[in-house]
Chains A and B, each alone.
Chain A
């Protein structure tokens, strides 16, 4: 058992370093989409709900986990959708007005 926890902690530490490296390069301009994007990623707790419901006994446990799965799904689906909406608004040349007038 001890080795499992150590493996998990090793993964935890490495993930922290990767996270710090990748995220510190994101410019201020994109901080809101970054936050809602990472928000969607922590919706991964949904998986925890799926795994836990498999061995859950009793009405209360199952109820708690169905709510947890619903919460996680809101987090994932809503988070990625709203991030996509925001990011698609960042455009470089939104000047078709002048071009259209020329045509």
Chain B
């Protein structure tokens, strides 16, 4: 038996897939620590290469038009590489949304092309059912991700858009998609019906993400990620391809875990996020609850610098406002100045700070903040009592003590950073406007709190230069 024949054995290809799974899982396992993560990603990428090459050697592909395959691969590379190379770290959530979307789109298109094959789906339900499932979820994921991209990129209003009778319309759309799918599984060969599945799911994807506000994006992106993974796994069952099943399902599991963690960190059920509304109903809450009697004390960069200079431990609490102001590099410069004076600087990162899970960590890592200074909520909360100064930069709701203290607050029960326990609190803020939830933050009126109003980036730079002058 010649070598080429050996490489084309079906068993060889399955074996190559098994090697690829091992590499995916090893790669992901190495993502648990920043020291091994780079290597882990490379191993996973290599696993993907193994899977692709093995598939190309597949004897089933003998009849394939390799020119077409090459066109697809080349176009994908030409589009994918530069966008991955050039994307700014602040724009990472929309990049991930876009990559996620094309994955879902690919699943939907493959399902459509498979449907056009001359075999009776009604005779082979074990192919037909996953194919219809893949088409619905893939199409929702593609369009939902595109809307998420549009919102994050600012192409579509980031604020929640109310759709009249949204829930009813969405359920109706899902019913149409499933109904058309059932008709196909019962024997209809109408391509129009299959396109109807894709279109109904597409509209559903649009309408489901459109009402969701920007701050809920971590949950949405995680959910869409899980959807694409599940649709890939379903396509794998339809095509009887182990690689798709395993890889798709692992992603489905990962997206599900992240969705759950994000929703918990916001104290909201996944259902309530997906139904939208939080940002929409918030102004009414604000109107009712502004009887906060306290006064706001404003301070200057010079005073903050003095306060910081005499601290032993400073905790920086960054929020999305820091990313918007592009202040992460200025913040890093300030920390360096403080560290030079022997002051310990830590960063308290709330799980939903930013527009996707872990977004703030990436921004600070880009600004050269060592990752061992980036503290997760549960690690940093016991430390606030020993913290001399907490510096809140562009964060709001995640520091609101009402979540802990006031049972009738809409965010009561949400896990927060206990900034109010530190000896002094400095809040850098553009104005007194409320956070995305539209809820008053008593932290701002606290006795230990001083506000430094202005653009975060220039305020921080000013503090740094004042520190240098001390």
Interface residues of A (CB under 8 A from B): 1-2, 4-5, 8-9, 11-12, 15-20, 22-58, 60-62, 64-95, 97
Is the CB–CB distance between B92 and A44 below 8 Å?
A: no
Interface string of B45-63 (1 = CB under 8 A from A): 1001001100110101111
Cα separation A79 to B225 with both chains bound (whole Å): 12
Cα separation A40 to B116 with both chains bound (whole Å): 28
Measured between C-beta atoms, what is the minimum distance from A61 to chain B in Å?
A: 5
Any A CB within 8 A of the CB of B95: yes
Chain B residues contacting A57 (CB-CB under 8 Å) are 116-118
Any A CB within 8 A of the CB of B329: no
Chain A residues contacting B126 (CB-CB under 8 Å) are 1-2, 4-5
Is the CB–CB distance between B76 and A34 below 8 Å?
A: no
Cα separation A88 to B39 with both chains bound (whole Å): 10
Interface band, chain B: 35 or more
When A43-B103, A47-B241, A78-B83 are in contact, do A16 and B370 touch as well, CB less than 8 Å? no
Any A CB within 8 A of the CB of B35: yes
Measured between C-beta atoms, what is the minimum distance from B430 to chain A in Å?
A: 25
Name which of B199-207, B359-367, B420-428 contacts chain A.
B359-367
Interface string of B96-115 (1 = CB under 8 A from A): 10011011011101101110
Of the candidates A74, A84, A89, A93, which one forms a contact with B76 in the assembled complex, judged by CB atoms under 8 Å apart? A74
Of the candidates B28, B51, B261, which one forms a contact with A37 in the assembled complex, judged by CB atoms under 8 Å apart? B28
Chain B residues contacting A28 (CB-CB under 8 Å) are 261, 349, 351, 357-358, 361, 376-377
Of the candidates A1, A37, A56, A58, which one forms a contact with B44 in the assembled complex, judged by CB atoms under 8 Å apart? A37
Interface residues of B (CB under 8 A from A): 24-25, 27-29, 31-35, 37-38, 40-42, 44-45, 48, 51-52, 55-56, 58, 60-65, 68-69, 71-73, 75-77, 79-81, 83-85, 87, 89, 92, 95-96, 99-100, 102-103, 105-107, 109-110, 112-114, 116-118, 124, 126, 221-222, 225, 228-229, 232-233, 235-237, 239-258, 261, 336, 349, 351, 356-359, 361-362, 365-366, 368-372, 374, 376-377
Of the candidates B31, B85, B106, B365, which one forms a contact with A91 in the assembled complex, judged by CB atoms under 8 Å apart? B365
Determine the main DSSP class of A at the interface with B. helix
Closest 9 CB pairs of A and B: A73-B76, A19-B253, A69-B72, A31-B358, A78-B80, A31-B357, A81-B84, A15-B249, A54-B64
Chain B residues contacting A33 (CB-CB under 8 Å) are 31, 37, 41, 358, 362
Cα separation A28 to B31 with both chains bound (whole Å): 11
Cα separation A47 to B65 with both chains bound (whole Å): 15
Measured between C-beta atoms, what is the minimum distance from B58 to chain A in Å?
A: 7
Is the CB–CB distance between B110 and A74 below 8 Å?
A: no
Is the CB–CB distance between B77 and A35 below 8 Å?
A: no
Cα separation A44 to B248 with both chains bound (whole Å): 8
Is the CB–CB distance between B38 and A51 below 8 Å?
A: no
Chain B residues contacting A89 (CB-CB under 8 Å) are 89, 362, 365-366, 368
Measured between C-beta atoms, what is the minimum distance from A96 to chain B in Å?
A: 10
Is the CB–CB distance between A75 and B102 below 8 Å?
A: yes
Cα separation A29 to B379 with both chains bound (whole Å): 12
Cα separation A1 to B356 with both chains bound (whole Å): 42
Candidate in B48, B71, B368, B370 with the most chain A CB atoms within 10 angstroms: B48
Is the CB–CB distance between B45 and A40 below 8 Å?
A: yes
When A8-B240, A42-B229 are in contact, do A62 and B65 touch as well, CB less than 8 Å? yes
Additional A-B contacts beyond A23-B258, A80-B45, A85-B85 (14; CB < 8 A): A22-B25, A40-B45, A45-B106, A48-B107, A50-B52, A51-B58, A56-B113, A64-B112, A65-B68, A68-B72, A71-B105, A73-B77, A78-B79, A87-B41
